[in-house]
Amino acid sequence: MSGIIAAGSLTAFPNVTANTQTEDSQPFDEAFSRAVDLGNQIADGDDKADLWDIADGLLAGAVQYWLYTRQPCGDARCEDCLAIGTAEARMAELRRLVEQLSEESQYFHAPTDSNVGRA
């Protein structure tokens, strides 16, 4: 799959780098930027890198970390943990978040999507 991006330019998000972050940046922005930078570094370091494998690995790590941070505290009356109190509830929240972040991405719709009209 790495042949889809022009040779010598495996950078998926060329305008997003950790170096552009300021001291005022929120943790979300820093984590987002570093994840993109890491994917680009891995891809740039291996001409034969499969971009889908890199992206899947980044996603697997992000999901692992997200699930780790969403473990309920153990207090059945904790209002903060209501939405994540069971494995099923955590999965529902994760799906909701993935859908939201996907739809907000500039890469959600592609001109090569099979459902794009063609004249």
Cα separation, 23 vs 6, in Å, equals: 34
Domain locations in the chain?
Answer: 1-69, 74-110
Beta strand extents in 7-101 (DSSP E only): none
Annotate 49-61 with DSSP letters as a single string. --HHHHHHHHHHH
Residue 33, CA distances (Å) to 67, 78, 82, 106 in order:
20, 32, 30, 15
Output the pTM of the full model.
Answer: 0.73
Instruction: Quote the pLDDT of residue 23.
Output: 53
With contact defined as beta carbons under 8 Å apart, do 49 and 21 qualify? Answer: no
Give residue 66's identity as a one-letter amino acid code. Answer: W
pLDDT digits (tens, 9 = 90+) for 13-55: 444 444 444 555 699 999 999 999 999 999 999 999 999 999 9
pLDDT digits (tens, 9 = 90+) for 57-113: 999 999 999 999 999 999 989 999 999 999 999 999 999 999 999 999 999 999 999
In this predicted structure, the answer to whether residue 6 has a pLDDT above a threshold of 70 is no
Instruction: Name the burial class of residue 20, with classes exposed (0-12), middle (13-18) and buried (19+) by CB atoms within 10 angstroms of its CB.
Output: exposed
Tokens of 71: 């473990």
In this predicted structure, the answer to whether residue 118 has a pLDDT above a threshold of 50 is yes
Handedness of CA 106, 112, 114, 118 (dihedral sign): positive
